[in-house]
């Protein structure tokens, strides 16, 4: 085999999208995937404008739209009483940010990148489980358990939550949130009550939430049920089982409870993240995607961050390449390192807090509901920092939102009551 410019370890959405981004610049890229085939397990995925902007740049947006659904609204409801709490007008949001909010089946997004990589000449190798990394001043090398060494100018490790390469940079472990996700896709013809597929809906409840939206042009309903496992909290190994699913949603509204029998009950996903780290690059080896910044899923930004990572790296490669094609890899990796860890640190930490807010109970749940109901529909102060253009340089990273303390709900409620009296 010839020596490629770049070896990417991991053929998930992060690895493949990065492979495509680099190969369209004319680089020779090889992707090493441990599985016997390239594929994605799971159900739907939400792609916000900070991702569809990049898909558009890649010339893949129209194809993605044709395989997914562009909904009109994202609605948040209380899971106990079913009432509306707040909404995002996704058509207006698309006008504001210039690109749509899209929902798509994971396997459809993944296959879009597989096809794009094939067309761009990326070398896609399966059954290559990388177990070690080495490097010198000129090359980096990823070696498989079977002993095959893959050398390149740089190695990008996009090997997910349980990344082997991450151990080069930090001695840490995934952190269990004690929450577990059940998924399920149902042909819309088999859904026993009307569901408005122009909406992405999230029902938030005490220690649980439920999400649904349409996929494949509205042919499929995607559903996700997430809850805190008492067995996980008690330290038991056997956690997240279907009996816990039913118990966790016992107090939720009819709509949510009636959807539970339609979840896949033989497979569930325990939810982990890791603490942010600020160094992702070790010489000629760099982390990318979940390997660098696995989040809890509450902001729906995990795959998006991975896609942004690849786009940012490729843009710096484009900028730091001489006319005869020689890449200043030290410069490109330094530029990547200078901007991405801080952005992803913000997302990972905000995802934790956002999830806690969804799962509040009692008085705090009521306070949250007051604040969410008081939000103006077209107030984008909480999304500007995330849905705007992906920063290429640290100074372009937008300011974050101002958090609103839960306790301020009492004042908001008083003001509302006074205005109604007046």
Ligand X SMILES: Cc1cc2nc3c(=O)[nH]c(=O)nc-3n(C[C@H](O)[C@H](O)[C@H](O)COP(=O)(O)OP(=O)(O)OC[C@H]3O[C@@H](n4cnc5c(N)ncnc54)[C@H](O)[C@@H]3O)c2cc1C
User: Between residues 222 and 367, which has the closer beta carbon with respect to ligand X?
Assistant: 222
User: Catalytic: which of 182, 213, 272, 387?
Assistant: 213
**Residue (269 or 401) nearer to ligand X, CB:** 269
Site membership for ligand X, residue 386 (CB under 6 A) = no
Q: Which range in 8-16, 111-119, 213-221, 238-246 contacts ligand X by CB under 6 A? A: 8-16
Shortest Å distance, C-beta 333 to ligand X: 18
Choose the stretch contacting ligand X; rule: CB under 6 A; options: 19-27, 30-38, 185-193, 228-236. 30-38
- Return the range that interacts with ligand X (CB under 6 A); candidates 27-35, 90-98, 344-352, 356-364: 27-35
Residue with tokens 């680089």: 27
Out of 169, 224, 256, 313, name the contact with ligand X by CB under 6 A.
224
**CB nearer ligand X, residue 27 or residue 299:** 299
Whole-angstrom Cα distance, residue 381 to residue 402? 8
What mask of x and - would describe binding to ligand X in positions 70 to 109, judged by CB under 6 A? ----------------------------------------
Do residues 207 and 228 make contact, with C-beta atoms less than 8 angstroms apart? Answer: yes
Q: Which of 15, 184, 206, 388 binds ligand X (CB under 6 A)?
A: 15
Would you state the structure tokens that stand for residue 392, as one six-digit string? 């290429």
Can you tell me which of 68, 289, 341, 388 binds ligand X, judged by CB under 6 A? Answer: 289
Figure out which of the listed residues 269, 354, 380, 401 binds ligand X, where binding follows CB under 6 A.
269
Distance CA(352)–CA(335), nearest Å, equals 27
| Using rule CB under 6 A, residue 6 touches ligand X | no
Active-site annotation holds for 213? yes
Other CB atoms within 10 A of residue 291 CB: 29
223 scored as a contact of ligand X (CB under 6 A)? no
Binders in 117-176 for ligand X, by CB under 6 A: 128-130, 158-161, 164
Q: Which of 55, 116, 178, 181 binds ligand X (CB under 6 A)?
A: 181
For residue 304, state whether it binds ligand X (rule: CB under 6 A). Answer: yes
The pairing of beta strand 102-105 with beta strand 44-47: antiparallel
Q: Which residue lies nearer to ligand X by CB, 27 or 54?
A: 54
Compare residues 17 and 367 and give the one whose CB is closer to ligand X. Answer: 17
263 lines the binding site for ligand X (CB under 6 A): no
Catalytic positions are 213
* Residues lying near ligand X in the complex (CB under 6 A): 9-15, 32-35, 45-46, 128-130, 158-161, 164, 181, 224, 269, 289-290, 297, 300-304, 306
């Amino acid at each position: 085999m010839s020596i490629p410019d770049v070896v990417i370890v991991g053929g998930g959405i992060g690895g493949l999208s990065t492979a495509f981004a680099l190969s369209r610049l004319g680089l020779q890229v090889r992707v090493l995937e441990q599985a016997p085939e390239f594929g994605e397990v799971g159900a739907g995925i939400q792609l916000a404008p900070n991702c569809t902007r990049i898909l558009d740049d890649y010339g893949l947006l129209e194809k993605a739209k044709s395989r997914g659904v562009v909904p009109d609204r994202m609605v948040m409801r209380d899971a106990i009483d079913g009432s509306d709490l707040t909404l995002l007008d996704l058509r207006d949001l698309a006008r504001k940010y210039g690109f749509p909010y899209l929902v798509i089946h994971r396997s459809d997004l993944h296959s879009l990148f597989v096809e794009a990589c094939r067309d761009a000449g990326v070398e896609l190798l399966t059954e290559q489980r990388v177990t070690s990394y080495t490097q010198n001043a000129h090359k980096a090398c990823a070696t498989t358990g079977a002993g095959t060494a893959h050398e390149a100018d740089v190695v990008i490790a996009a090997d997910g939550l349980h990344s082997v390469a991450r151990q080069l940079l930090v001695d840490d472990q995934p952190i269990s949130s004690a929450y577990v996700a059940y998924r399920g896709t149902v042909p819309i013809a088999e859904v026993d009550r009307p569901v408005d597929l122009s909406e992405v809906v999230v029902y938030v409840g005490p220690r649980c939430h439920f999400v649904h939206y349409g996929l494949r042009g509205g042919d499929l309903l995607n559903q996700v049920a997430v809850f805190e496992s008492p067995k996980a909290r008690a330290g038991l190994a056997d956690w997240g089982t279907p009996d816990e699913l039913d118990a966790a949603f016992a107090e939720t509204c009819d709509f949510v409870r009636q959807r539970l029998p339609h979840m896949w009950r033989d497979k569930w996903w325990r939810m982990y993240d890791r603490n942010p780290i600020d160094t992702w690059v070790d010489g000629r080896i760099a982390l990318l995607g979940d390997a660098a910044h696995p989040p809890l899923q509450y902001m729906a930004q995990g795959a998006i961050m991975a896609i942004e990572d690849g786009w940012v790296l490729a843009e710096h490669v484009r900028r730091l390449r001489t006319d005869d094609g020689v890449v200043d890899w030290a410069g490109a990796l330094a530029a990547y390192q200078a901007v991405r860890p801080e952005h992803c640190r913000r997302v990972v930490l905000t995802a934790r807090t956002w999830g806690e807010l969804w799962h509040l109970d009692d008085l705090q749940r009521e306070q949250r509901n007051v604040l969410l109901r008081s939000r103006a529909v077209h107030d984008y102060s909480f999304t500007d920092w995330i849905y705007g253009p992906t920063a290429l340089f640290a100074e372009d990273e937008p300011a974050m939102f101002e958090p609103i303390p839960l306790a301020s709900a009492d004042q908001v409620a008083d003001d509302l009551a006074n205005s109604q009296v007046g």
